Amino acid sequence: MKEFLKVKNINLSFDSKEILKGLNLIIDEGNFVAITGASGSGKTSLLRVICGLESPSQGEIILDNSLLFSREISVPTEKRNIGLVIQEKVLFPHLSAIQNIEFGISSKKDKQNLSGEIMERLNITQLAEMYPHELSGGESQRVALARSVVMRPKLLMLDEPFTGLDKDLKQKIYPEIKSILRASKITALMVTHDLNEVKALADKCFNLESGQLTEL
Protein backbone atom coordinates (compact mmCIF):
# COMPACT_ATOMS: atom_id res chain seq x y z
CA MET A 1 0.00 0.00 0.00
CA LYS A 2 1.25 3.49 -0.88
CA GLU A 3 2.65 5.70 1.89
CA PHE A 4 0.48 8.78 1.38
CA LEU A 5 1.25 11.11 4.28
CA LYS A 6 4.74 11.22 5.79
CA VAL A 7 5.42 13.41 8.81
CA LYS A 8 9.12 13.27 9.60
CA ASN A 9 10.99 14.37 12.72
CA ILE A 10 8.69 17.28 13.57
CA ASN A 11 9.60 19.60 16.44
CA LEU A 12 7.17 22.25 17.66
CA SER A 13 7.50 24.52 20.69
CA PHE A 14 5.37 27.28 22.21
CA ASP A 15 7.05 29.76 24.60
CA SER A 16 10.04 27.41 24.96
CA LYS A 17 7.73 24.49 25.88
CA GLU A 18 8.23 21.50 23.58
CA ILE A 19 4.92 20.21 22.22
CA LEU A 20 6.07 17.81 19.49
CA LYS A 21 9.51 16.22 19.81
CA GLY A 22 10.92 14.47 16.76
CA LEU A 23 7.44 13.22 15.91
CA ASN A 24 7.04 10.77 13.04
CA LEU A 25 3.85 9.52 11.38
CA ILE A 26 3.15 7.56 8.19
CA ILE A 27 -0.37 7.04 6.86
CA ASP A 28 -1.09 4.76 3.91
CA GLU A 29 -3.34 5.92 1.11
CA GLY A 30 -7.04 5.45 1.88
CA ASN A 31 -6.48 4.67 5.55
CA PHE A 32 -8.34 6.22 8.47
CA VAL A 33 -5.97 6.91 11.36
CA ALA A 34 -6.98 8.09 14.83
CA ILE A 35 -4.85 9.87 17.41
CA THR A 36 -5.71 9.83 21.09
CA GLY A 37 -3.97 11.46 24.03
CA ALA A 38 -4.50 13.58 27.10
CA SER A 39 -5.73 17.16 26.84
CA GLY A 40 -2.79 19.42 26.10
CA SER A 41 -0.68 16.62 24.64
CA GLY A 42 -0.45 18.37 21.24
CA LYS A 43 -3.03 16.50 19.17
CA THR A 44 -4.63 19.61 17.68
CA SER A 45 -1.20 21.22 17.26
CA LEU A 46 -0.16 18.26 15.09
CA LEU A 47 -3.17 18.77 12.81
CA ARG A 48 -2.39 22.48 12.58
CA VAL A 49 1.21 21.69 11.61
CA ILE A 50 0.11 19.30 8.87
CA CYS A 51 -2.30 21.78 7.31
CA GLY A 52 0.12 24.70 7.62
CA LEU A 53 -1.44 26.74 10.41
CA GLU A 54 1.62 26.22 12.62
CA SER A 55 5.27 26.12 11.55
CA PRO A 56 7.52 23.58 13.25
CA SER A 57 11.17 24.35 13.94
CA GLN A 58 12.32 21.29 12.02
CA GLY A 59 11.08 18.31 10.04
CA GLU A 60 9.35 17.48 6.78
CA ILE A 61 5.76 16.89 5.69
CA ILE A 62 5.10 15.03 2.44
CA LEU A 63 1.61 14.39 1.05
CA ASP A 64 1.09 12.25 -2.04
CA ASN A 65 4.78 12.64 -2.99
CA SER A 66 4.56 16.45 -2.76
CA LEU A 67 6.74 18.26 -0.22
CA LEU A 68 4.53 20.56 1.87
CA PHE A 69 7.05 21.59 4.50
CA SER A 70 10.80 21.51 5.05
CA ARG A 71 13.49 23.91 6.17
CA GLU A 72 13.38 25.52 2.72
CA ILE A 73 9.71 25.11 1.74
CA SER A 74 6.34 25.87 3.32
CA VAL A 75 3.32 25.45 1.03
CA PRO A 76 0.46 27.81 2.03
CA THR A 77 -2.48 26.20 3.81
CA GLU A 78 -4.93 26.91 0.98
CA LYS A 79 -2.71 25.08 -1.53
CA ARG A 80 -2.24 21.87 0.48
CA ASN A 81 -5.62 20.33 -0.52
CA ILE A 82 -6.33 19.32 3.07
CA GLY A 83 -9.77 19.48 4.66
CA LEU A 84 -10.05 20.30 8.35
CA VAL A 85 -13.15 19.84 10.51
CA ILE A 86 -12.82 21.30 14.01
CA GLN A 87 -14.94 21.27 17.14
CA GLU A 88 -16.02 24.88 16.74
CA LYS A 89 -18.21 24.05 13.73
CA VAL A 90 -17.18 27.18 11.82
CA LEU A 91 -19.78 27.97 9.17
CA PHE A 92 -20.35 31.15 7.16
CA PRO A 93 -23.23 32.80 9.08
CA HIS A 94 -24.67 34.60 6.04
CA LEU A 95 -24.96 31.40 3.97
CA SER A 96 -27.56 28.65 4.22
CA ALA A 97 -26.51 25.09 4.97
CA ILE A 98 -26.47 24.08 1.32
CA GLN A 99 -24.60 27.26 0.35
CA ASN A 100 -22.00 26.48 3.00
CA ILE A 101 -21.61 22.95 1.65
CA GLU A 102 -21.34 24.09 -1.96
CA PHE A 103 -18.99 27.00 -1.18
CA GLY A 104 -15.82 25.16 -2.19
CA ILE A 105 -17.33 23.46 -5.25
CA SER A 106 -19.29 26.41 -6.67
CA SER A 107 -17.54 26.15 -10.04
CA LYS A 108 -18.43 22.49 -10.57
CA LYS A 109 -21.29 21.71 -12.93
CA ASP A 110 -22.46 18.77 -10.84
CA LYS A 111 -22.33 20.61 -7.51
CA GLN A 112 -26.03 19.96 -6.83
CA ASN A 113 -25.59 16.22 -7.28
CA LEU A 114 -22.47 16.20 -5.11
CA SER A 115 -24.01 18.24 -2.31
CA GLY A 116 -27.30 16.35 -2.50
CA GLU A 117 -25.57 12.99 -2.13
CA ILE A 118 -23.46 13.98 0.86
CA MET A 119 -26.41 15.68 2.59
CA GLU A 120 -28.57 12.61 2.16
CA ARG A 121 -25.90 10.29 3.54
CA LEU A 122 -25.35 12.53 6.57
CA ASN A 123 -29.12 12.90 7.07
CA ILE A 124 -29.16 16.70 6.71
CA THR A 125 -31.20 17.18 3.52
CA GLN A 126 -33.94 18.82 5.57
CA LEU A 127 -31.49 21.48 6.74
CA ALA A 128 -30.63 22.74 3.25
CA GLU A 129 -32.26 26.19 3.49
CA MET A 130 -31.55 26.81 7.18
CA TYR A 131 -28.90 29.24 8.38
CA PRO A 132 -26.20 28.46 10.97
CA HIS A 133 -27.98 30.32 13.79
CA GLU A 134 -31.00 28.06 13.24
CA LEU A 135 -29.00 24.84 13.58
CA SER A 136 -28.19 22.83 16.68
CA GLY A 137 -24.57 22.05 17.52
CA GLY A 138 -24.88 18.56 16.07
CA GLU A 139 -26.54 19.81 12.89
CA SER A 140 -23.84 22.44 12.41
CA GLN A 141 -21.15 19.81 12.83
CA ARG A 142 -22.68 17.60 10.15
CA VAL A 143 -22.92 20.55 7.76
CA ALA A 144 -19.26 21.40 8.43
CA LEU A 145 -18.33 17.77 7.83
CA ALA A 146 -20.29 17.69 4.57
CA ARG A 147 -18.59 20.89 3.39
CA SER A 148 -15.15 19.35 3.86
CA VAL A 149 -15.94 15.92 2.44
CA VAL A 150 -17.71 17.22 -0.68
CA MET A 151 -14.48 18.96 -1.77
CA ARG A 152 -12.75 15.57 -1.85
CA PRO A 153 -9.48 16.72 -0.30
CA LYS A 154 -6.40 14.54 -0.54
CA LEU A 155 -6.38 14.41 3.25
CA LEU A 156 -9.30 14.99 5.61
CA MET A 157 -8.41 15.90 9.18
CA LEU A 158 -10.99 15.75 11.94
CA ASP A 159 -10.56 17.33 15.37
CA GLU A 160 -13.15 15.80 17.76
CA PRO A 161 -15.57 15.82 14.78
CA PHE A 162 -18.62 14.26 16.41
CA THR A 163 -18.76 16.33 19.59
CA GLY A 164 -22.34 17.40 20.19
CA LEU A 165 -23.97 14.48 18.42
CA ASP A 166 -26.11 12.11 20.45
CA LYS A 167 -25.09 8.48 20.79
CA ASP A 168 -27.75 7.06 18.43
CA LEU A 169 -26.88 9.53 15.66
CA LYS A 170 -23.18 8.77 16.05
CA GLN A 171 -23.81 5.05 15.60
CA LYS A 172 -25.76 5.78 12.42
CA ILE A 173 -23.20 8.21 11.01
CA TYR A 174 -20.02 6.20 11.63
CA PRO A 175 -20.58 3.61 8.86
CA GLU A 176 -21.79 6.32 6.47
CA ILE A 177 -18.64 8.38 7.05
CA LYS A 178 -16.40 5.37 6.47
CA SER A 179 -18.32 4.46 3.32
CA ILE A 180 -18.14 8.01 1.95
CA LEU A 181 -14.41 8.29 2.56
CA ARG A 182 -13.66 4.93 0.99
CA ALA A 183 -15.83 5.63 -2.03
CA SER A 184 -14.12 9.01 -2.49
CA LYS A 185 -10.67 7.50 -1.78
CA ILE A 186 -10.03 10.11 0.93
CA THR A 187 -7.30 9.48 3.49
CA ALA A 188 -8.31 10.63 6.98
CA LEU A 189 -6.62 11.60 10.24
CA MET A 190 -8.80 12.08 13.32
CA VAL A 191 -8.13 13.37 16.82
CA THR A 192 -10.55 12.05 19.43
CA HIS A 193 -11.06 11.15 23.07
CA ASP A 194 -13.83 8.70 22.19
CA LEU A 195 -12.62 5.11 21.93
CA ASN A 196 -15.95 4.10 20.38
CA GLU A 197 -15.10 6.38 17.44
CA VAL A 198 -11.70 4.75 17.16
CA LYS A 199 -13.24 1.26 17.06
CA ALA A 200 -15.89 2.28 14.53
CA LEU A 201 -13.73 4.25 12.13
CA ALA A 202 -9.99 3.80 12.48
CA ASP A 203 -7.72 1.38 10.66
CA LYS A 204 -4.89 2.37 13.01
CA CYS A 205 -4.68 4.30 16.27
CA PHE A 206 -1.78 6.15 17.87
CA ASN A 207 -1.43 7.74 21.29
CA LEU A 208 0.36 11.08 21.59
CA GLU A 209 2.36 11.46 24.76
CA SER A 210 5.50 13.44 25.60
CA GLY A 211 5.54 14.83 22.08
CA GLN A 212 5.73 11.48 20.29
CA LEU A 213 3.33 8.91 18.85
CA THR A 214 3.00 5.29 19.92
CA GLU A 215 0.84 2.86 17.95
CA LEU A 216 -1.86 1.18 20.01
Give the pLDDT of residue 107.
75
The pLDDT value recorded for residue 166 is: 82
Q: Give the model's pLDDT for residue 96.
A: 95
Judge whether residue 89 has pLDDT over 70. Answer: no
Query: What's this model's pTM, rounded to 2 decimal places?
Result: 0.89
Q: Which pLDDT score, from 0 to 100, does residue 179 have?
A: 87
pLDDT tens digits, one per residue of 22-51: 999 999 999 999 999 998 899 999 999 999
The candidate with the shortest Cα–Cα distance to 119, out of 99, 133, 89, is 99
Domains of the chain and CATH, by start: 1-79+187-216 (3.40.50.300)
Q: Which comes out higher in pLDDT, residue 9 or 172?
A: 9
